[in-house]
A = this chain, B = another copy of it.
């Protein structure tokens, strides 16, 4: 029996008070004032937003566990400053924590880091530690907190090392995930996300980060952006950069999810990327919410595509469960404590 673990879910349906508070927080910051107190949100309100959305779809689609994090497009690290980001992240993560307590069999937490374009990573490290102590199993790491101009140091730069050290010590992976775009030339979910996934992979290829951090594990979402489609290009570029084969110096530490919304894409992903590097994910309820007229099913019902893959049961087990337990050891521990 395989447990279906979705490694990529965001709380895109959080209660309205949460987003309202955020709007007021930003407004207050712009005016040089102080954010109002965070509103009361009842357990019932949280239950309602989950039961009528993610949980309903999880049941309909036959998944079991979702690794759940705050809404990616609203992390908006480019808005405000370090304090604004820290306060917002604190509340976002607390909301995720409450979801994981209300639905402990279904949701496992991954935190938003309070990154800020001009800040170092001290606040992010502190928030990561706080969240892991609350039972979270990973973090989302924004490679471009400036929001669409790629002005941050590459992921191989020592700027990031203190965070990586903490992630290794806590034994939690990070999902490389940008947020909303403040660039009119850069649509968030259709341009920025996939561009950033692709650029991040190439940053990792240019460096030798995992020689320094052999325990660091990074998930590149949305099927790895353009990377699997251009796998020949990347194999060839590794060769031109005089690097070892990708399988040796990148693919022990980098993983792709299955947030690719059509069968041919998932087929290619499973064809060119070793199955040990693929984690089931849907990004549901997320970027694309409609029904594909060509199939009659939701675009983001990625379980159907994985079910349809021409692979062995053992390989499918790895994609749905085994790899997630390996990449997120704290998830594995939680599941074992639950007898799963």
Contacts and interface: CB of A to CB of B under 8 A. Distances in A.
Given A183-B150, A190-B237, A261 B232 contact: yes
Contacts of A174: none
Interface string A172-209: 00000000000111110111101111110011011000
A153 B183 CA distance: 9
On chain A, which size bracket covers the interface?
A: 35 or more
A265 B265 contact: no
A32 B49 CA distance: 63
A102 interface: no
B185 A153 contact: yes
A148 interface: yes
One complex includes copies of this chain to the number of: 2
B152 A150 contact: no
26 contacts: A143-B185, A149-B149, A149-B150, A151-B185, A185-B203, A187-B199, A187-B202, A187-B206, A189-B237, A191-B199, A195-B199, A222-B230, A226-B226, A229-B265, A230-B265, A231-B262, A231-B264, A232-B265, A232-B299, A233-B261, A235-B262, A235-B294, A235-B299, A236-B290, A236-B292, A239-B290
A223 B231 contact: no
A51 interface: no
Nearest to A192: B199
Given A231-B265, A232-B262, 8 more contacts: A144-B185, A150-B185, A151-B185, A187-B199, A189-B233, A232-B288, A235-B261, A235-B292
